[in-house]
Every structure is written in structure tokens, then in C-alpha cells.
């Protein structure tokens, strides 16, 4: 993974972004998300910020093993 796509700025170098946090996978109940967190090698939900660009907060779903970005959305945006 050498670049990420910002919804406002388009595809930019990875150095423009800052990683903030890995989130529990969607669908987990709140207690399991805190106490029974399981890291998955092929599906990670993460917070990123475009710190050297528009400073937008982004939510990414990606495969950490390959670096492939499966989905990139604005934080708080409704996805189907
Ligand atoms: Zn941006």
C-alpha cells in the first residue's frame, strides 16, 4: 500500500495520511468488541486522517496482509 484515496483530494501518497486506530469489526456486540477483540489478518477496519491534505477523517476497510484497500469512506458517512 503506497497510496490512499481521499474522497475530497483523490489518490495521494501514503505519507500524507496518519493512521489512528483499528476498530472492532462491524457487527460485533459492544462487550465482545472490548473484551474479545480478534485481530483478523484479512479484514481490518481503521481510522485514518488526511493530515497533509484536507484533514478529513476517514474510515478504511482493508486487507492488512496484502495492503489492499477494500473500502474508504468519510468518517460518519452512511454506507450501504
Ligand atoms: Zn483529502
Arithmetic mean of pLDDT, 71-76: 89
Q: How far is the CA of 6 from the centre of ligand 1 (A)?
A: 5
Q: What three-state secondary structure class fits 62? A: strand
CA of 78 to the centre of ligand 1 (A): 18
Q: Name residues with Cβ closer than 5 Å to ligand 1, which is an ion.
A: 6, 8-9, 50, 53-54, 56
pLDDT, tens digit (0-9, with 9 covering 90-100), for 23-68 = 776 566 777 767 766 667 888 889 999 999 999 999 999 998 898 9
- Contact between 46 and 79 under an 8 Å Cβ cutoff? The reply is no
- Domain limits of the chain? 3-74
pLDDT at residue 78 in the model: 61
pLDDT at 57: 96
* pLDDT of res. 26: 55
CB 61, CB 44: distance < 8 Å:
yes
- CA–CA dist 36, 16 (Å, integer): 33
Q: Higher confidence at residue 39 or residue 17?
A: 17
Architecture of domain 3-74: 2-Layer Sandwich (3.30)
Q: How far is the CA of 54 from the centre of ligand 1 (A)?
A: 4
C-alpha grid cell, residue 30: 459492544
In this predicted structure, the answer to whether residue 80 has a pLDDT above a threshold of 60 is no
Amino acid at each position: 500500500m503506497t497510496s490512499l484515496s481521499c474522497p475530497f483530494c483523490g489518490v495521494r501518497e501514503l505519507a500524507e495520511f496518519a493512521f489512528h486506530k483499528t476498530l472492532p469489526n462491524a457487527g460485533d456486540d459492544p462487550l465482545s468488541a472490548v473484551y474479545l477483540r480478534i485481530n483478523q489478518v484479512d479484514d481490518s477496519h481503521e481510522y485514518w486522517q488526511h493530515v497533509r491534505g484536507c484533514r478529513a477523517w476517514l474510515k478504511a476497510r482493508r486487507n492488512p496482509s496484502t495492503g489492499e484497500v477494500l473500502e474508504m469512506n468519510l468518517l460518519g458517512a452512511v454506507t450501504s
